[in-house]
């Protein structure tokens, strides 16, 4: 088997109905519940008109600037899937554009994540289909390979296994490991509820800031009298 040119089967994937429950939870709340240790990196930005993304990952690892295996991933993807591509972060050639995004929309997929560049940015921005990418270029891709599908990939230290949950919003994107999805959904909802109470407290003046001075005291911070 050629390790640089292979297509594997996805052995498991987060349930789509469960994944879509994360559409009601800010990515920041999930991130807080993951100890703020994981992120897809600040270069990956949303290029669509807005809206949250959540779905199982179909992973692609490709040579920078080549989208042969992304085209194959579009053939294999199921409705709701997020095609997550490690293109090495290279911005020389775009990996997807308006045509491939349109194909994904027509198939009912959940989004694109490109550790690389996109093009046809105006058309992407005009639509609500989630597209996260590292940048933009007008230069098109090659279609020669090599590349791999349904292999573990990593983006700025964030590891994505095939079938993991991938979520995204205006703050960026995040991978939630398959085995942690249900636990983190519950934790993130509780975090969201707590923040709702905090926001209400700020508005009505009841917000308790005593923790600030308590923390400074614990740290032996000098405060000039």
Neighbours of 49 (CB within 10 A): 13
* 144 assigned ligand-binding residue: no
CA 17 to chain centre: 18
* 98 assigned ligand-binding residue: yes
* 120 assigned ligand-binding residue: yes
Neighbours of 63 (CB within 10 A): 19
List the one residue out of 56, 86, 106 whose CA is nearest residue 146.
Answer: 86
**Token output for 105:** 């929309």
- State how beta strands 53-62 and 147-149 pair: antiparallel
* 97 assigned ligand-binding residue: yes
Residue 108 DSSP class:
T
Tell me the residue length of the chain. Answer: 225
Q: Which residues of 9-31 are buried (b: 16+ CB within 10 A; e: fewer)?
A: ebeebbeeeebeebeebbbbbbb
* 100 assigned ligand-binding residue: yes
Residue 88 DSSP class:
T
Binding residues: 97-100, 119-120
In the annotated binding site for Mg(2+), the residues are 120
Residue set of the binding site for substrate = 97-100, 119
């Amino acid at each position: 088997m050629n390790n640089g040119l292979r297509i594997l089967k996805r052995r498991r994937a987060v349930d789509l109905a469960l994944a879509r429950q994360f559409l009601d939870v800010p990515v920041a709340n999930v991130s807080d519940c993951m100890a703020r240790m994981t992120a897809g990196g600040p270069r990956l930005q949303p290029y669509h008109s807005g809206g949250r993304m959540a779905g199982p990952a179909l992973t692609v690892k490709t040579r920078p600037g080549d989208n042969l295996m992304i085209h194959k991933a579009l053939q294999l993807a199921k409705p709701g899937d997020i095609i997550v591509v490690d293109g090495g972060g290279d911005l020389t050639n775009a990996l997807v554009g308006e045509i491939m995004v349109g194909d994904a929309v027509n198939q009912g997929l959940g989004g694109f994540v490109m550790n690389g560049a996109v093009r046809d940015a105006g058309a992407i921005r005009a639509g609500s289909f989630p597209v996260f990418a590292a940048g933009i270029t007008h230069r098109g891709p090659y279609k020669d390979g090599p590349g791999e599908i349904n292999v573990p990939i990593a983006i700025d230290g964030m590891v994505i296994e095939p079938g993991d949950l991938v979520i995204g919003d205006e703050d960026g994107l995040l991978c939630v490991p398959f085995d942690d999805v249900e636990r983190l959904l519950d934790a993130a909802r509780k975090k969201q509820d707590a923040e709702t109470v905090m926001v209400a407290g700020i508005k009505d003046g009841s917000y308790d800031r005593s923790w600030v001075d308590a923390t400074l005291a614990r740290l032996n911070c000098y405060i000039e009298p």
